[in-house]
Amino acid sequence: MSANPEDVIENSTKGFVSERGPFVINANPPVKAPHTREEVDAQFDKAADAFDHESLAAEFGSEEARQKVAEMVRALTPGTSTTMLLWQGGANGMSLSHNWFGPNFPLFRHSHPRFGDCLYYVVGGELEMGTRQLGRGSTIFLPNGQPYKFTAGPDGVEVLEFRAGGGDEKASGTIVKETSLDAIQQIIDRCHEVDSEWQAPKRMGDLVRREQDTDDEAAE
Asked whether residue 218 carries a pLDDT value surpassing 70, the answer given is: no
**Rounded to whole angstroms, how far apart are CA atoms 43 and 38?**
9
CA torsion, points 158, 164, 167, 169, in degrees to nearest 10? 100
Domain positions in the chain are: 34-219
**Residue ranges of E strands in the chain:** 17-18, 21-22, 80-87, 95-101, 106-111, 118-129, 132-134, 139-142, 148-163, 175-176
**Rounded to whole angstroms, how far apart are CA atoms 122 and 200?**
16
Asked whether residue 192 carries a pLDDT value surpassing 80, the answer given is: yes
- Tell me how far the alpha carbon of residue 20 is from its chain's centroid: 22
pLDDT tens per residue across span 94-148: 999 999 999 999 999 999 999 999 999 999 999 999 999 999 999 999 999 999 9
Burial class (CB in 10 A: 0-12, 13-18, 19+), 116: buried
pLDDT tens per residue across span 58-77: 999 999 999 999 999 999 99
**Rounded to whole angstroms, how far apart are CA atoms 39 and 78?**
10
Instruction: Report the predicted TM-score, pTM, of the whole model to 2 decimal places.
Output: 0.89
Asked whether residue 199 carries a pLDDT value surpassing 90, the answer given is: yes
Please provide the CATH number assigned to the domain covering 34-219.
2.60.120.10
